Amino acid sequence: MNILAFETSCDETSVAIVRDGRELLANEVLSQNDLHALYGGVVPEIASRSHLEAIAPLTAKALSGVPGGIDAVAATAAPGLIGALLVGLNFAKGYAMAKNLPLIPVHHIRGHIAAIYLAEPEIKPPFLAAIVSGGNTQFIEVLDYTDMRVAGGTRDDAAGEAFDKGARLLGLGYPGGAALSRLAEPGDDAKYRFPVADIEGAPFDTSFSGVKTALRNLVHHAKQLYGDDWAESLDLPSVAASYQKAIISALSGKLCAAADALGYDTVVLAGGVAANRRLCTELRSKLGNRIHIPPVFLCGDNAAMIASQAFYEFLKGARAPLSQNAYATFDVAIPLCQS
pLDDT in tens, the chain (339 residues): 999 999 999 999 999 999 999 999 999 999 988 888 888 788 999 999 999 999 999 999 999 978 779 999 999 999 999 999 999 999 999 999 999 999 999 999 999 999 999 999 999 999 999 999 888 899 999 999 999 999 999 999 999 999 999 999 999 977 888 899 999 999 999 999 999 998 989 999 999 999 999 999 999 999 999 999 999 999 999 999 999 999 999 999 999 999 999 999 999 999 999 999 999 999 999 999 999 999 999 999 999 999 999 999 999 999 999 999 999 999 999 999 754
The string of DSSP codes covering 308-325 is HHHHHHHHTT----TTPP
Question: Does the domain at residues 2-120+298-315 carry the CATH identifier 3.30.420.40?
Answer: yes
CA 191 to chain centre: 30
Say how many Å lie between the first and final Cα of the chain, rounded.
25
What phi, psi does 2 have (nearest 5°)?
A: -95, 125
- One-letter amino acid of 165: K
Cα 312 from Cα 118, distance rounded (Å): 13
Query: How large is the angle between the packed helices 277-287 and 177-184, nearest 10 degrees?
Result: 70
**Torsion angle of the four alpha carbons 23, 304, 114, 177, in this order, in degrees rounded to the nearest 10:** 130
Which of 106, 47, 109, 53 is CA-nearest to residue 81?
Answer: 47
CATH class name, domain 127-293: alpha beta
Q: Give yes or no for a contact between 306 and 106, defined as CB atoms under 8 angstroms apart.
A: yes
Cα 169 from Cα 216, distance rounded (Å): 7
Q: Strand 267-270 and strand 291-292: pairing?
A: parallel
Radius of gyration of the chain (CA): 20
Q: 138 Cβ partners below 8 Å, 6+ apart? A: 109, 130, 131, 150, 152, 153, 154, 332
Q: How many CA atoms lie within 13 A of 15 on its CB side?
A: 22
Judged on CB neighbours under 10 Å (0-12, 13-18, 19+), 339 is: exposed
Q: What pLDDT is attached to residue 88?
A: 98
**Domain ranges, ordered by start, for the chain:** 2-120+298-315, 127-293
**Fold match between 2-120+298-315 and 127-293?**
yes
Q: What pLDDT is attached to residue 339?
A: 46
Q: Is the whole model's pTM more than 0.85, yes or no?
A: yes
Farthest CA pair distance, the chain: 66
Q: What pLDDT is attached to residue 262?
A: 97
